[in-house]
Structure 1
Amino acid sequence: MSFSFFARAVPAVQRSTVLTRTVQSCVRFQSTASTTPKRVPRVLPSFSLEGKVCLVTGAARGLGNEFCRAFIQSGCTELAIVDLKESEAQAAAAELVSNACVNSDMTPEDFNVIGVGCDVSSELSVQRAFEQVMDTYGRLDSVVASAGIVENYSAFDYPFDRIKRLYDINVHGAFFTAREAARNMIPQGGGSIVLVASMSASIINIPQPQTPYNASKAAVRHMASSLGVEWAKKGVRVNTLSPGYMLTKLTKTILAHDQDLKKTWESLTPMGKMGEPEDLAGAIVFLASDASKFMTGAEVRVDGGYCVI
């Protein structure tokens, strides 16, 4: 009705002019809308690892390898993958770079990812590994001590040589890694060290017996707090990441033959499920990056609520 009233009130020539201008205006509006670039999601800049040199032990596979993947996705292009067998570490480095270039504008030449062989239970081996990394990059910004093992023996049946090996890797290996990291970070003004413990540092796992493992992870957690205080004024932060039950490839293989154990673990977890390795990505990037720059001696648990009850 309003248009017909307008048509009668305006001469035909003017109506034609008005309509033409209206259509042109609409076309211009639609054209502008269609060419406007889509908004790119924004992320807090302090979470970025771009320009930072990172090192992860126990990184050829498992959670350590997942941490490396998270670092690459957060912008890190200079990364040392440290593991017991150098060939496996180098293969993991090549695979990581190859995957990072899929569906990306990055090329292999944009990355400097190396594989380094190291027995973390040997102080000398750790020192040599850090020397190699420093010779390659000249600095270290974030180090993750992820190398570790777990075994299940009852306390009466646990062989001494197995206990010693577990402590040499889980406890002494974490200490040697943290100490060499700090020695190289302090002269450059600081850095971030993350020791990977476990929720087992706070609770007693059931039904599997693993007393030495639980005690080793409690030692790692307290070690991080102690080193965090000792190096706080020197710019080196030391924090702990404590995962719960995670569905790594190894864990999946074990549980494939024991579905009752999987059901038990899930029933004891408030979220009713086990975690996926990628569920740790956000936490490890947070601790390694400047996003956690006022945190030291702290523990971040990612366990589906297991330790709450």
Structure 2
Amino acid sequence: MTNILEQFKLDEKVAIVTGGAMGLGKAMATALAQAGSNIVIADINKEIADETAKEISDNENVEAIAIKVDVTNPEDVNQMVEAVVKQFKKIDILVNNAGMTINAKAEEMSFEDWNKVINLNLNGIFLVAQSVGRVMIKQGYGSIINTSSMSGLIANKPQEQCSYNASKAGVIMLTKSLAMEWSKYNIKVNTIAPGYMKTELTKPFFDQGGEMIKDWMGFTPMGRPGTPNELGGIVVYLASDASSFAQGSVFTIDGGYTAL
């Protein structure tokens, strides 16, 4: 029987992390690198992606590169995947993480804003999974980790964000569907569903406080937001051989929010 700690090692693996330049994506990319994986930071912001790739490469003793990609553009996505395969000859892991939110009342939200959220959060997830999936099917193995949200399981309060909630629920069902289709190719497809996380973007809201933050934390049994590094363990687990029987599953990391 293989030592359990050995199963978590990702030495010589190749992982793409979309939206990996900062926030949750950067934290997950760093965790994968610490487990031994080479990293591709795929992000629309090339300047920050370059900085993140250099930081990971310098600190974690792995190869890390940055590639600019618009995940809503099929041609862009395919070119990114081709570039990764050309350089590394394979893709072992995909962390499909790029996303956004627009808070707007359902009765007032413009169709343009609705489409922006759905296009990035759901269509982008599909396009990258499809392109990387083709490579993994040829390889006969791989692990895809989609970033959903607890918002794909519940409707948040008090903020109005119907497009975000709908997109993340779609990611969960897409994950299950791909797991059903691609199990025969030895490809794992799972999704993580984070709760409220304190990132560069949300830190000002948490620091300022107010009624909304009181509501958020009041519904969170642990009484605090998560931090990006607290997603590292689950991502390494799902990327590694330790999760060999995990398939089509939703892993909530939300401080207990959805347990209520």
Pick the TM interval, shorter chain. Answer: over 0.9
Tell me how far apart the structure 2 counterparts of residues 300 and 255 of structure 1 sit (CA, whole Å): 24
More moved, 117-126 vs 86-95: 86-95
- The structural deviation recorded for 1:259 is 3.0
| Residue in 1 that maps onto 2:184 | 233
Q: Secondary structure at the match of 2:201?
A: helix
* Equivalent residue number for residue 31 of structure 2: 70
Tell whether the 8 Å contact from 1:141 to 1:190 is kept in structure 2 after alignment. yes
Alignment of 1:52-91 (within 5 A): 52-76=13-37, 78-91=38-51
Aligned partner (choices 134, 138, 144) of residue 95 of structure 2: 144
Worse overlay, 192-201 or 259-268:
259-268
Q: What is the CA-CA distance between 1:43 and the residue it aligns to?
A: 6.0
Spell out the pairing of 1:173-188 with structure 2 (5 A cutoff): 173-188=124-139
Residues 135 and 161 (structure 1 numbering): CA distance in 2 closer, same or farther, change over 3 Å?
A: same
Once superposed, what is the RMSD of the aligned Cα atoms? 1.3
TM-score normalised to the size of structure 1? Answer: 0.81
Residues 9-30 of structure 1: CA distance to partner in whole angstroms, max 9, x if unpaired? Answer: xxxxxxxxxxxxxxxxxxxxxx
- Whichever residue aligns with residue 141 of structure 2, its letter is G
TM-score by length of 2: 0.96
Which residue of structure 2 aligns with residue 23 of structure 1? none
What are the equivalent positions in structure 2 for 1:263-302 lying under 5 Å apart?
A: 263-302=214-253
Deviation at 1:257, TM superposition (A): 3.6
Aligned to 2:167: 216
Length, aligned pairs only? 258
Structure 1 residue runs of 5 or longer lacking an equivalent are 1-41, 101-105
The aligned counterpart of 1:167 is 118
Q: Which moved more, 1:216-225 or 1:244-253?
A: 244-253
- Residues 182-213 of structure 1 show CA distances to partners (whole Å, capped at 9, x for unaligned) of 10011112100011000001111000000110
Identify the residue that residue 98 of structure 1 maps to in structure 2.
58
CA distance in 2, matches of 1:51, 1:79: 10
User: Structure 2: any 5+ residue segments left out of the alignment?
Assistant: none
Partner of 2:157: 206
**AA in 2 matched with 1:89:** A
8 Å CA contact retained: 1:255, 1:261: no
In structure 2, how many angstroms separate the alpha carbons of the residues matched to 1:117 and 1:248?
A: 22
Residue 46 (structure 1) aligns with: 7
Shift of 1:138: 0.4
Structure-1 separation of matches of 2:218 and 2:116: 32
Alignment of 1:127 onto 2:78: yes
Q: Deviation at 1:258? A: 4.0
Give CA-to-partner distance per residue, 1:73-126, whole Å, 9 cap, x none: 1112x21000002222112101222333xxxxx4xxxx3211000000111111
Larger Rg: 1
Give the corresponding residue for 1:19: none
Structure 1 CA distance, aligned partners of 2:106 and 2:19? 26
| Bigger relative contact order (CA 8 A; separation at least 6) | 2
Alpha-carbon distance in 2 for matches of 1:112, 1:97: 6
